[in-house]
Amino acid sequence: MMTTLLLVDDEPAILDFMTALFTDAGFRIVSAADGVIGLKEFYIHQPDLAIIDLMMPNMNGFELCKRIREVSHVPLIILTGLEKTKEKVQAFTSGADDYVTKPVNGRELIARVEACLRRSNWPSSETTSSLYSDSVLTVDHGRREVYIKGESIELTPIEYSLLWLLVSKQGEALSLEYLLTNVWGKEYDTFDLVKWHISNLRKKISVKSTSQTTSKSISPIATVRGYGYRYEKPSD
């Protein structure tokens, strides 16, 4: 069965370029010229991945990502001319898995799509009995389900991949380079990707402190200054 991509962009030239590019690469294409139509096409066709522009009429890319994330975990790639950190952070917070700035090389864009698709299917090659559990967090790797104190939480494919890698090496400091290479792939070289997604992941798996002196939320993902991150098993 062909892999279906949803392309959402209000620039006809960009849509034509991507349609030709991915059709030649063997993908089935569904396209839309604004966010509202894009959301309708998503519901109808249930694509395997979506590439979304940010600045569009009727519904922008941030809102479209949020709406899709309410119903699906499929990979979402932002393709935009905006390069500021503020927009990148907002895109990842809205649920995007990757952020690509225009203009982009066609081969690079295909590589990023294929990398996202590999990550979204990653658990299928692992044993279905893999399970991690501590006093706060439970990760059922076979079912791709995550629980905080028994309550199910929703993670994006990137967030899930990062979490599983961290808990699989619980207590071990993992470098930014290691996380980037093993979650995104060797074709990626931006450590900010790791930092932005770790920030979102921390918010989702944080729990209230049991200390009587503070009501702060704490996360089991610790920063290893100048190096990377480590998952620290919570005390019982």
- Are 222 and 229 contacting, i.e. CB atoms less than 8 angstroms apart? yes
- At 129 the pLDDT is 46
Hey, which of 15-29, 84-98, 161-175 has the most confident mean pLDDT? 15-29
- At 114 the pLDDT is 93
CATH number for 4-120 (one of 1.10.260.40, 3.40.640.10, 2.60.40.10, 3.40.50.2300): it is 3.40.50.2300
Annotated domain spans of the chain: 4-120, 123-231
Coil, strand or helix at 218: strand
**How far is Cα 49 from Cα 74, in angstroms, rounded to an integer?**
6
Q: Which CATH architecture has domain 123-231?
A: Orthogonal Bundle (1.10)
CA-to-CA dists, residue 231 to 129, 172, 174, 203, 215, angstroms:
21, 7, 9, 14, 21
**How far is Cα 47 from Cα 59, in angstroms, rounded to an integer?**
19
Is the per-residue pLDDT at 213 higher than 60?
no
- At 127 the pLDDT is 42
- Higher pLDDT residue, 83 or 162? 162
- Are 66 and 92 contacting, i.e. CB atoms less than 8 angstroms apart? no
Hey, which of 134-138, 181-185, 215-219 has the most confident mean pLDDT? 134-138
